[in-house]
Each structure stands twice: as structure tokens, then as C-alpha cells.
Amino acid sequence: MKIICVGHNYQEHNKEMGRNGIDSGEPVLFMKPDSALLKDNKPFFIPDFSNNIHYELEVVVRINRLGKNIAERFAHRYYDELTVGIDFTARDLQSDLKQKSLPWEISKGFDNSAVVGEFVPKEILQKNVDCLDFSLLKNNEIVQKGNTSDMIHRVDKIIAYASRFFTLKIGDILFTGTPSGVGRVEINDHLEGFLEERKLFDFYIR
């Protein structure tokens, strides 16, 4: 099982991170190992190698068939379930690695850094995948809110693009990028993720 992630996919988030002039010609992809997966509302434990872990709420899709070099017009056939998840980032570690022009996978791909909620069939959402509201509550306050219509690269384009480089397999997971509002987590924070009006994850920081 692969976890494929998309960076820089919401313009407002790019602005808050100081990336105003970024070239968005093609999706920016990075990977997380399968050991990054955290599900079933299990708690997230802040790792000892970082003092600044950030949440990044994202819409997540799960691949349901084998595919390589998928045409964008057929990409919708390759997933039938969605959820929301958290791409946890060790921001201090990432910043240090970027300043040294080094790869920053360890700041994104560490154990339990890819939270996924309960997957739901896209049919029951009764809305186009490219127009879905999603939100994150931290300690009962909305801290992130987005709509997939604001993606720079839509889900089908991401799938088509990723499949040029990686054969997509059943069960692979795609994180599609985060809107503005990312921030730090602390011990005992309570995070709840929603897709439309459905709560799909609910867990604590430990």
C-alpha cells in the first residue's frame, strides 16, 4: 500500500506558507511509507524529535483498481471512496532540512503521520467530488475549512499524473492537499474531521 501526497495544492495555503510565486504547472507529489498510516481514531503521540508538529487537513481518496498511465477522463473510475485525513508535519525539522537543501521526507513520513478517517462511498455524498466542503475542529473550534473546488489540481488530474510514475494498486491512498489554516498541535488537543456534514475522524493528541 502506497500513500501518495500532493503539496502546494491550495493557493491560500501557499500564501500562508510564503509560496506566492510557486509554479503550479503540475502536481507536486511526495510519498509516505505504509508505517505512517494511523486509523480507527487511535491517538497521535507527538514524537520526541520535534517541538513543532503541524496538522494539515486533507481530502483523501482510496484507489480501487490497478492502473498505470491513466487518462484523466477515466480517472474517476479508479476510486469510489473518500474520507478526510491529517498530514502531520514536523515543521521545525522540515524547515531545517529545506534550509540545508536536503530532502525532507522524514518530516512528513514519520510513523503515524498520515491519519485517515472512515471512508465513505462517493455516491452517498450526493455532490461532485470537485465541490466538497471539509473542515477540522480543534478543541471544538473550526481551525481549517476548505472546498475541493479550490484545488489547483483536481482529484482526477492528480490520479492521472501520479499514474505516469507509479502503478496505482488497490488500497493505495491519495492525500490531495491542504487549505489554509494549518497549525500546531499540543498534548491533549482534540481533533475532529468532517467531510460535508459527516464526522469521519475523532481523536486526541498524546
Entry pTM: 0.94
Which residue numbers in the chain have pLDDT < 70?
A: 17, 19-24
**What is the dihedral sign for C-alpha 36, 42, 48, 50?**
positive
Tell me what pLDDT residue 19 has. 63
Q: Evaluate whether 70 touches 155 at the Cβ level (below 8 Å).
A: no
- Give the integer Cα–Cα distance in Å for 188 and 206: 6
- Give the integer Cα–Cα distance in Å for 197 and 127: 12
Domain at 3-205, CATH class: alpha beta
Tell me what pLDDT residue 23 has. 57
Residues 6+ apart with CB under 8 A from 25: none
Tell me what pLDDT residue 80 has. 96
- Give the integer Cα–Cα distance in Å for 156 and 75: 5
What ranges do the domains of the chain cover?
A: 3-205
Tell me what pLDDT residue 135 has. 98
